[in-house]
Amino acid sequence: MRSRLLFCLLICLLLPACAGKTPPPPPAKEVTPLDAAIAIQEKRFRHDLIKWGALASERILRISHGILAGNTELCGERTTYGLGLVFLDIKSFKGDTQWLRKWWGLDERAMVFAILPNGPEWNAGIRHGDVVQSVTGQPVATRKEAGAAISAALRGGAGKPVALGLDRDGVPYFVSIAPKRMCDCNVGIWQRQSVAVFQNDQGFELGLGLLSFASKDEDLAVIIGHELAHQMLGHEKNVGWGQLGKLFAELFTGGGYGEPYTLEQEIQADRLGFYYAARAGFSLDRAPGIWKRLAAAMVHPDAVTKNRPYFASDEREKALTAVREEIMAKIQAGQPLVP
């Protein structure tokens, strides 16, 4: 038996030598040093782009989570439970996504993209890049399934911990996260380099331009508080664009959209938004001048005063200063921050 096996092995080794000449492999494409350098830079750029997106998402999550969780008393019946996590999948991106599959392992599953710093999710051991495999014991194959399952668990669980099964580099693990009660409003990023804010009946998305403008957290908190106030006051039922989105549209289309909010609605949102930001612990020192600073940062600042005279008016800044003084007086007197 041993000699037969040896004979078979010899035949297998000799056959290629007896066969005709096999065609040579196609010539490899010559890669110049410049091509190699460009490829390296492209990979670094794309990696930095993903890293920047994760940091931006985490910043939005951190600030909005604080505002939403710190103002349930003012949001009335419009409250829910939420987790401090942001998920992505391959469908979150448009265009060429093969590099995301290859370099980052992104596919149709829900991958953790942002985590609330020092929140229960982070403390439970969840990290960036982990993939959701199950929710409350039920397998989920896609981000859509994971999102629907988590939403159902949050809305039906009355604050009970949500069991998540995750995978990290092929190793499964399980955690149970206690959700936090917060105002019921989705806050996200609109993947456009603009200062637009898009509102719908579920929440709003901030354009990437706003994140660049509001480099200080207190500025971004005032903007988020303002847009949340429009939501809680029911203003979004009448419009599809927030004030910044409308302003952006006017600057680049010459107007024609009609006023999204009245001056009275803007003042209401300014006032309530200041309270939202202050209750979440953000400073209002710079807040009264935020709309003037934003108008000055526009590509066409003159168009701001033409299309929306009150957007960056002295009257509006004066009213905002009065609201700030009102809030500061309540803080010093130890009174509840209720408008």
Render pLDDT for 102-146 as a digit per residue (tens, 0 to 9).
766 778 899 998 899 889 999 999 998 899 999 999 999 999 999
Distance CA 274, CA 269 (A): 8
Does position 249 have pLDDT exceeding 50, yes or no? no
pLDDT at 6 (0 to 100): 35
**Same structural domain for residues 300 and 217?**
yes
| Whole-number Cα distances in Å, 91 to 88, 113, 156, 267 | 8, 14, 28, 39
Backbone angles phi, psi at 289, to 5 degrees: -95, 15
Q: What is the pLDDT of residues 183-231, one digit of tens each?
A: 999 998 876 666 777 777 788 888 888 888 888 999 999 999 999 999 9
Residue 25 CB: number of other CB atoms within 10 A?
Answer: 6
Alpha-carbon distance of 81 to 185, in angstroms, equals 10
Q: Do 200 and 328 share a structural domain?
A: yes
Give per-residue pLDDT as tens, 55-109.
888 899 999 999 999 999 999 889 999 999 999 888 877 777 777 777 667 788 9
Residue 12 has pLDDT above 50, yes or no: no
The residue ranking higher by pLDDT, 214 or 19, is 214
Supply the pLDDT for residue 42: 58
DSSP secondary structure code for residue 50 in this structure: H
Q: Quick one: 234 and 254 in the same domain?
A: yes
Into how many domains does the chain fold? Answer: 2
User: What's the pLDDT score for residue 19?
Assistant: 43
User: Average pLDDT, stretch 272-299?
Assistant: 90
The pLDDT, as a whole number, for residue 47 is 58
Span 6-23, average pLDDT: 40
Burial 43-61 (b: 16+ CB within 10 A, else e): eeeeeeebeebbebbbbbb
172 and 59 in one domain?
A: yes
2 within some domain: no
Which domain-ending residue is among 182, 216, 232? 182
Structural domain boundaries enclosing 170? 33-69+79-182
Any domain includes 200: yes
Top pLDDT among 31 and 323 is at: 323
Same domain flag for 190 and 104: no
Q: How far is the C-alpha of 327 from the C-alpha of 339, rounded, in Å? A: 9
Q: In which band, very low, low, confident or very high, does the pLDDT at 250 lie, cut at 50, 70 and 90? A: very low
pLDDT at site 282: 97
Report yes or no on 11 lying in a domain. Answer: no
For residue 98, what pLDDT is reported? 76
- Do 39 and 178 belong together in one domain? yes
pLDDT score of 10 more than 80: no
Q: Are residues 42 and 173 in the same domain?
A: yes
